[in-house]
Amino acid sequence: MDKEAKLEKKLSPINVWALALGCIIGWGAFVMPGNTFLGKAGPLGTAIAMGIATIIMIVIAFNYNYMINKFPVAGGEFTYTQKAFGGNHAFVCSWFLGLSYLCIVPLNGTALALIGRNLMNNVFQVGFHYTVAGYDIYLGEILLALVALGLIAYLSIRGVEFAGVFQTILVFALVSGVFIVAIAALVSDKASFSNLTPAFYENSATGAAGGLGGILAVVAVAPWAFVGFDTIPQAAEEFKFSPKKTKTIMVISILFGGAVYIVLNTVTAMVVPEGYASWNAYIDDLPNLSGLISLPTFYAAKTLLGTAGVVFLGVAVLAAILSGIVGFYMATSRLLYSMAKENVIPGWFGQLHPVYKTPRNAIIFIMVIAMIAPFFGRTALGWIVDMSSLGAAIGYGYTSLAATKYAREEGRGGLTVSGVIGAVMALMFCVLLLVPIKMFGCSLGKESMICLVVWVVMGIIFYISTKKQRESAK
């Protein structure tokens, strides 16, 4: 690896904000109101849960800001953990965080097919097809994902400035689409705040309300829902501004992310199809529905604005998916680049493009791995993606612990408190994900647990096999 080559400082504050928000908001923000949020907590319960999650993430962001200013280099959590606790902990942190970042790239790539299936009358379901784990896979959808992943990889290699501008355009399109639908809900007589009752989800079979359990179940997905603001430190070496500004950038991106989740969920509940007494009855009946009405958020957009509503929201979804690919290409490649510089993984990953000064090899590696996923569909991929919350929570925890350590040494009481709170919250997320507490219903499924065990075993093998490489580099 060329020790003299360095990443270039090309990212502006607006580019970095777009990087974070584009990673936070993806396909899930537009479908989770129907398949997760309303069915667990209801409109008010979700708003409360997302409010709590937003506050937790802002506290954790304070810890990130502190560490970015202390170590303004690429690598983020890996660098912080290594400096504070040594190489062993850094490897554990980066091994899980790497999975969290890496799996979101193919997740977004395969989400493009969902736009074709749900909003474009199955236009990409052409050519031969087969089934994996009950999921039908078509040649047209495979090619769509491969082209998108390849094109964005190329753009990412061409330079961080170009990728930053592209990301900014996508995020403004995303926010605009959501904003237009939200305004329509406020002025249209087809949506009503009176439809937001019941405030919490009520089980149609038992009559029991979601209440606290529903709220905590939504809070538990916060690491997944907000994963993205923590991509900011991965690009710290490429800021063309003071790292001190990252606190404001992260807080604004988290607030925007929380607002998008709450707005989409609330708008969805405000529009109840004819024949249903409430959003609650509508959500309970979703398994029996098909077509656009089975996607409540998109159905609400069409009810409010007609075909134009679907187009506006469709553009927002497309922008969210593409910005997620761009953002996580950037974040994952910088993580791999920093690990290679410290000889945790082969130096090949740390080689920069001779002209564009981007981690070309790392980006190509991510692209190749991501291009495998479209051939296996989203069902099998979902088992791995479910672990992304755990990887994010581990990254949050290590960063918060590192902030606690350094803040205590420097006598900074406020940051010590935020560090402790962040570490405790990260531990809570891990417990909710790993311990099958029936009340919350948010723990990893059996398949995800098996994938987790496999990943841990792979990590142990990889760590042992690279021991000599790390020792020789000392």
Q: What is the mean pLDDT of each run of 10 residues along the chain (474 residues)?
A: 68 92 90 90 94 93 93 87 91 87 87 87 89 88 95 91 88 94 94 92 68 83 82 86 91 95 96 92 91 92 94 93 92 89 84 90 94 83 72 91 95 93 91 72 73 86 75 63
Whole-number pLDDT of residue 408: 94
471 CB burial (10 A radius; 0-12, 13-18, 19+) = exposed
CATH code for 13-472?
Answer: 1.20.1740.10
Single out the residue of 18, 24, 26, 22 nearest to residue 58, CA to CA.
24
Are the C-beta atoms of 266 and 43 separated by less than 8 Å?
Answer: yes
Please tell me the predicted confidence (pLDDT) of residue 13: 93
With tokens 């803040």, the residue in question is 407
Cα distances (Å, whole numbers) of residue 355 to 126, 159, 167, 352, 438: 39, 9, 21, 8, 54
Considering only the C-alpha atoms of the chain, give the largest distance between any 2 of them, rounded to a whole number of Å.
Answer: 71
**Tokens linked to 372:** 């495998």
Does residue 198 have a cis bond before it (omega within 30 degrees)? yes
Are the C-beta atoms of 376 and 134 separated by less than 8 Å? no
Which pLDDT does position 18 carry in this prediction?
92
Whole-angstrom distance, CA of residue 369 vs CA of residue 378: 15
Instruction: Give the DSSP letter of residue 239.
Output: B
- Counts for the chain of helices (H) and strands (E), in that order: 20, 2
Contacts 24+ apart (CB under 8 A), 447-452: 447/383, 448/383, 448/384, 448/386, 448/387, 450/383, 451/383, 451/384, 451/386, 451/387, 452/387, 452/390
Quote helix, strand, coil % in the chain, to nearest 5: 75, 5, 20
Show the tokens assigned to 449.
């647990």
Nearest-angstrom CA–CA distance, 262 and 268? 10
Q: What is the pLDDT of residue 1?
A: 47
Asked whether the beta carbons of 93 and 74 are under 8 A apart, the reply is no
Q: Report CA-CA distances (Å) from 213 to 147, 219, 439.
A: 42, 10, 6
Residue type (1 letter), 62: F
Q: Alpha-carbon dihedral of residues 440, 220, 50, 232, nearest 10 degrees?
A: -170
Give the tokens for residue 220: 């538990």
- The secondary structure of 169-217, three-state, reads HHHHHHHHHHHHHHHHHHHCCCCCHHHHCCCCCECCCCCCECHHHHHHH
Contact call for residues 429 and 218 (beta carbons, < 8 A)? no
pTM across the whole model:
0.89
- Rounded to whole angstroms, how far apart are CA atoms 242 and 244? 5
Would you call 440 helix, strand, or coil by DSSP?
A: coil
* Residue listed under structure tokens 């769509």: 144
Q: How many residues does the chain have?
A: 474
Of the chain, the end-to-end C-alpha distance in Å amounts to 16
Q: Cβ distance 260 to 25 under 8 Å?
A: yes
